[in-house]
Chains A and B, each alone.
Chain A
Amino acid sequence: QLQLQESGPGLVKPSETLSLTCTVSGGSISSSSYYWGWIRQPPGKGLEWIGSIYYSGSTYYNPSLKSRVTISVDTSKNQFSLKLSSVTAADTAVYYCARHPYSGDYYMDVWGKGTTVTVSS
Chain B
Amino acid sequence: QSALTQPRSVSGSPGQSVTISCTGTSSDVGGYNYVSWYQQHPGKAPKLMIYDVSKRPSGVPDRFSGSKSGNTASLTISGLQAEDEADYYCCSYAGSYTLYVFGTGTKVTVL
Q: How far is the CA of A27 from the CA of B30 in the complex (A)?
A: 34
Q: Are A49 and B46 in contact, with the CB atoms below 8 A? A: no
A62 CB-CB contact with B under 8 Å: yes
Complexed CA–CA distance, A63 and B93 (Å): 14
A112 touches B (CB below 8 Å): yes
State which residues 30-89 of A face B: CB under 8 Å. 37, 39, 45-49, 52, 60, 62-64
Per a CB cutoff under 8 Å, which of B3, B47, B98 touches A111?
B47
**With a CB–CB cut-off of 8 A, which chain A residues contact B103?**
46
Question: Which residues of B1-56 have CB atoms within 8 Å of chain A's CB atoms?
Answer: 1, 3, 32, 34, 36, 38, 44-48, 51-52
Question: How near does chain B come to A67, taking the closest CB pair, in angstroms?
Answer: 14
A109 to chain B, nearest CB (A): 5
Could you tell me if B89 and A107 are in contact, using CB atoms closer than 8 angstroms?
no
Provide the bound-state CA to CA distance between A46 and B46, in Å.
11
* Cα distance A52–B93 in the bound complex, in angstroms: 13
CB pair B46–A105 under 8 Å, yes or no, is no
User: What B residues does A46 contact at CB under 8 A?
Assistant: 3, 89, 102-105
Residues of B with C-beta under 8 A to A60:
96, 99
Q: Residues of A contacting B46 with CB < 8 Å? A: 39, 47, 96, 108, 111
Q: How far is the CA of A49 from the CA of B92 in the complex (A)?
A: 11
Task: Please tell me if A13 contacts chain B, counting CB pairs below 8 Å.
Answer: no
Cα distance A63–B98 in the bound complex, in angstroms:
6
A46, A62, A113: most-surrounded residue (chain B CB, <10 A) = A46
**Known contacts being A47-B89, A49-B102, is A107 close to B3, with CB within 8 Å?**
no
Whether A47 pairs with B93 at a CB distance below 8 angstroms is no
Contacts of B108 in A (CB 8 A): none
Query: A6 vs B52: C-alpha distance in the bound complex, in angstroms?
Result: 27
Taken together as a complex, chains A and B put the C-alpha atoms of A49 and B48 apart, in Å, by 15
Residues of A at the B interface (CB closer than 8 Å) are 37, 39, 45-49, 52, 60, 62-64, 96, 105-109, 111-114
